[in-house]
Amino acid sequence: MPKTLFEKIWDPHVIKTIPDGPSILYIDKHFIHEVTSPQAFKGLEQRGLNVFRPDQVVATADHNVPTLNQHLPIKEELSRIQVDTLQRNCSKFGIELYGLGHPFQGIVPVIGPELGITQPGMTIVCGDSHTSTHGAFGTIAFGIGTSEVEMALATQCLMQHRPKLMRINVQGKLNKGVLSKDIILYIISRISASGATGFAVEYAGTAIRALSMEARMTICNMSIEMGARCGMIAPDEITFNYIKGRPFAPRGEDWTKALATWKTLFTDEAAKFDRELYIDASDIEPMITYGTNPGMGIGISGNIPGMHEIEEKEKSSFEKSLRYMGLEAGAGIKGKKVDYVFIGSCTNSRIEDLRMVAAFVKGKQKAADVQVWIVPGSKQVEQQARAEGIDKIFADAGFLLRQPGCSACLGMNEDKIPAGKYCISTSNRNFEGRQGPNARTFLASPLTAAAAAITGSVSDVREMM
Amino acid sequence: MNAITTITSTTVPLNAENVDTDQIIPARFLKATSREGFGKNLFRDWRYENDDESTPRNDFVLNDPAFHGRILVGAKNFGCGSSREHAAWAIKDYGFDVVVSSFFADIFKNNALNNFLLPVTVSETFLSEIFKAIKSDPSTTCTVDLAAQSITLNKKNGPALSEKFEINHYKKTCLLNGYDDIDYLLSMKEEIAAFENKRITSNI
């Protein structure tokens, strides 16, 4: 019986399926952080339970940590309490914690892969919707709520319904200046912010196969922005080469054995999907969002849809969105002034992102009235950037390289965009107030963000390369 | 947790699509280490001007005295975005027991169910009937009967409208009886350990 990549991982992880109910799914790796775990630990304590498999749980502090002066105590009291609570819970329950100051600290979907913890064929969960990122390695990885964090801590299992299966085939070659971020923003703009709800999505096709692991992670990361349960890409030589030698990657005989298993993880030719989409990579140009959900995106040279193009029942939401953004229906977006540039988040804060931005801005200067924040995804990314002299290139351009954390992606720490200001951001959500109360977000690729940093307005990076 | 049975209540209409969990509870309010008290900040930035509780926004439905009740009626793709369970806690803590929509985001739906906040998915047509009826008379009630899996719009001027909603048998039993998933999983511990042993020996 031909199987999809998803089925090859899901089926052997199901302990039992309840008739007309969910399956009990075994979880290989469970990541936790300071914001969505405290109530779960409290729940365990109230029930008098232990963590069932502490060796399969990894913790870090990422959501509300400051991105400057991390060696000092956290100033903001509630954030400090959350980070301290995580530390206390981890030591009480015997969980490995990569806290502030640890060389492995960073944003969960960045550190899992870079440490080699994320490996093909695994089931991975975290109380963070961008857990879908790990799917780039051929894993089933998804975000969960705190009650589920408690369940996973208590039993290493979750009650899950098997999602429907969708395959998105991206064929052909990407145009100059177009990155994997543009592919995923394009897909979401085509199928909407709810277009993949209830589905596990496999990304396939020659354009996907040609991408590096870091670029693949960017795509899987944003699967949730179209509602998908998870996103995944079959592992290949690019995947295996990325994992090999990382701190927690298998070694010696274990590596050989693991590799043999990993090589079986692909969708068989005759396997069936509930839905398939085909996209021509050459149709994609650098993308930018204009609205308040990630599905509201257009090509950089395009116009915001006119009112006549919007369905009647969606008109009031569309108008509300444009009013919030201070933009006009039917207008272009190129040339729109920006105040802040944020390059970071679990979508685009890896070393390749920083290298690409550095290569583009080398010898250039940021626009005078723009603030540019570069926030690396992890301590390791930060160290690597410094070792390669990328920090100096940024400093010369007037950019500030900060310390790792989620930062202005969701403004839980001090890194907030002021009310009414425009931020071009490499993160994943342009929701109202996401980057700070009344802040306005344009989502784009690191190159498009870097271009805006130089010109001070939304720009077509292709004209500057 | 308290079991859910039949609820008859007036409703609060929130007719906006793609209501994301950042609107339901903004990230800056996620710093608590307990589950209580989130209702105060439910829809914080839609409720108040400039984050100031002394200046409620009159155009937002939670500030309109005409609308109150235990049933929140949302539009398509309700609860999209972040996995924060705080969104479900905030809605429940504010005093809602049911959220009605034509389409729920996945993680929110799970989180709601895990907190005995019942997500009721209705057809687009039924949803627009509810919005129409509440608009013309805010005292219109809805009845949600979990055992019968039905929602009824008790129209003031005309016959009541009813529709069935889907919920799997397992979850329905949990909600009707006040059972948690975690209780079920804990009862499976031996099977889970046996599964782990089998995986080790067969080297999967």
Show Cβ contacts of residue A264 under 8 Å, excluding neighbours closer than 6 positions: A8
- Beta strands, E only, chain B: 6-13, 71-73, 98-101, 118-121, 141-145, 150-154, 161-164
Q: What are the phi and psi torsion angles at A57 (to 5°)? A: -115, 135
Residues A273 and A205 both lie in one domain: yes
Contacts of B106 in chain A (CB under 8 A): 197-198, 227, 229
Domain extent for A374? 288-464
Contacts of A257 in chain B (CB under 8 A): 203
A244 within some domain: no
Residues A298 and A202 both lie in one domain: no
Two tokens, residue A47: 């029930």
pLDDT score at B200: 79
Q: Quick count: other Cβ atoms within 10 Å of Cβ A398?
A: 17
Residues A342 and A415 both lie in one domain: yes
Q: Does B161 touch chain A (CB under 8 A)?
A: no
Q: Does A81 touch chain B (CB under 8 A)?
A: yes
Q: Does A410 touch chain B (CB under 8 A)?
A: yes
A214 within some domain: yes
- DSSP letter for B15, please: -
CA pair distance B89, B96, nearest whole angstrom:
10
pLDDT score at A304: 98
CA pair distance A432, A434, nearest whole angstrom:
6
Contacts of A79 in chain B (CB under 8 A): 31
Q: Does A310 touch chain B (CB under 8 A)?
A: no
At residue B75, the 3 state secondary structure works out as coil
Two tokens, residue A174: 């990407």
pLDDT, tens digit, 9 for 90 and up, residues A123-147: 999 999 999 999 999 999 999 999 9
Residues A36 and A156 both lie in one domain: yes
Q: Does B101 touch chain A (CB under 8 A)?
A: no
A256 within some domain: no
pLDDT, tens digit, 9 for 90 and up, residues A85-103: 999 999 999 999 999 999 9
- DSSP letter for A297, please: E
pLDDT, tens digit, 9 for 90 and up, residues A155-166: 999 999 999 999
A341 within some domain: yes
Two tokens, residue A277: 């989409």
Please say which residue of A111, A126, A160 terminates a domain: A160
pLDDT band at B204 (very low <50, low <70, confident <90, very high): very low
pLDDT, tens digit, 9 for 90 and up, residues B121-163: 999 999 999 999 999 999 999 999 999 999 999 998 889 999 9
What is the pLDDT averaged over residues A420-449?
97
Q: How far is CA A450 from CA A303, A376, B1, in A?
A: 21, 15, 50
A253 within some domain: no
Amino acid at A392: K
Please provide the distance, in angstroms rounded to a whole number, between the alpha carbons at the two ends of chain B. 38
Q: How many domains does chain A have?
A: 3
CA pair distance B28, A416, nearest whole angstrom:
10
Please provide the distance, in angstroms rounded to a whole number, between the alpha carbons at the two ends of chain A. 49
pLDDT at A330 over 80: yes
pLDDT, tens digit, 9 for 90 and up, residues A237-272: 999 999 999 999 999 999 999 999 999 999 999 999
What is the pLDDT averaged over residues A387-408?
97
Q: Quick count: other Cβ atoms within 10 Å of Cβ A269?
A: 6
What is the per-residue burial (b if ≥16 Cβ within 10 Å, else e) of B127-144? Answer: bebbbebbeeebebbbbb
For a pLDDT cut of 70, what percent of chain B falls above it? Answer: 98
Residues A202 and A149 both lie in one domain: no
Contacts of A193 in chain B (CB under 8 A): 18, 77, 80
Please say which residue of A112, A141, A160 terminates a domain: A160
Range A96-102, long-range pairs (CB < 8 A, 24+ positions): A96/A57, A96/A58, A96/A59, A97/A59, A97/A60, A97/A61, A98/A58, A98/A59, A98/A60, A99/A59, A99/A60, A99/A61, A100/A61, A100/A65, A100/A70, A100/A74, A101/A70, A101/A71, A102/A379
pLDDT, tens digit, 9 for 90 and up, residues A307-317: 999 998 889 99
Residues A339 and A205 both lie in one domain: no
Residues A434 and A460 both lie in one domain: yes
CA pair distance A458, A449, nearest whole angstrom:
8
CA pair distance A407, A429, nearest whole angstrom:
13
What is the pLDDT averaged over residues A57-83?
96
pLDDT score at B3: 87
Beta strand pairing status for A340-343 and A275-280?
unpaired
Tell me which of A16, A129, A162 to substitute to probe the interface with B (most B C-beta atoms closer than 10 Å): A129
Q: What are the phi and psi torsion angles at A153 (to 5°)? A: -65, -40
Q: Does A62 touch chain B (CB under 8 A)?
A: no
* Angstroms from A384 CA to nearest CA on chain B: 30
Cβ atoms A115, A60 nearer than 8 A: no
pLDDT, tens digit, 9 for 90 and up, residues A177-197: 999 999 999 999 999 999 999
A247 within some domain: no
Q: Does A259 touch chain B (CB under 8 A)?
A: no
Beta strand pairing status for A23-26 and A157-160?
antiparallel
Residues A117 and A177 both lie in one domain: no
Query: Could you tell me the CATH number of the domain that includes residue A46?
Result: 3.30.499.10
Residues A434 and A410 both lie in one domain: yes
Cβ atoms A262, A241 nearer than 8 A: no
Sheet order of strands, A96-98 included = A96-98, A57-60, A29-32, A123-126, A140-143
Two tokens, residue B66: 């005409």
A64 within some domain: yes
pLDDT at A27 over 90: yes
Residues A144 and A191 both lie in one domain: no
Is residue A51 classed exposed, middle or buried when 0-12, 13-18 and 19+ CB atoms within 10 A define those classes?
Answer: buried
Residues A329 and A420 both lie in one domain: yes
Q: Give A341's strand partners.
A: A372, A424
Cβ atoms A5, A265 nearer than 8 A: yes
A408 within some domain: yes
Q: How far is CA B52 from CA A448, B45, B62, in A?
A: 35, 9, 15
Instruction: Report CB contact under 8 Å: A151, B196.
Output: no
Contacts of A316 in chain B (CB under 8 A): 15-16
Say what the ipTM of the complex is.
Answer: 0.96
Query: Could you tell me the CATH number of the domain that includes residue A212?
Result: 3.40.1060.10
pLDDT band at B23 (very low <50, low <70, confident <90, very high): very high
Residues A89 and A188 both lie in one domain: no
pLDDT, tens digit, 9 for 90 and up, residues B161-201: 999 999 999 999 999 999 999 999 999 999 999 999 998 77
What is the pLDDT averaged over residues B81-91?
97
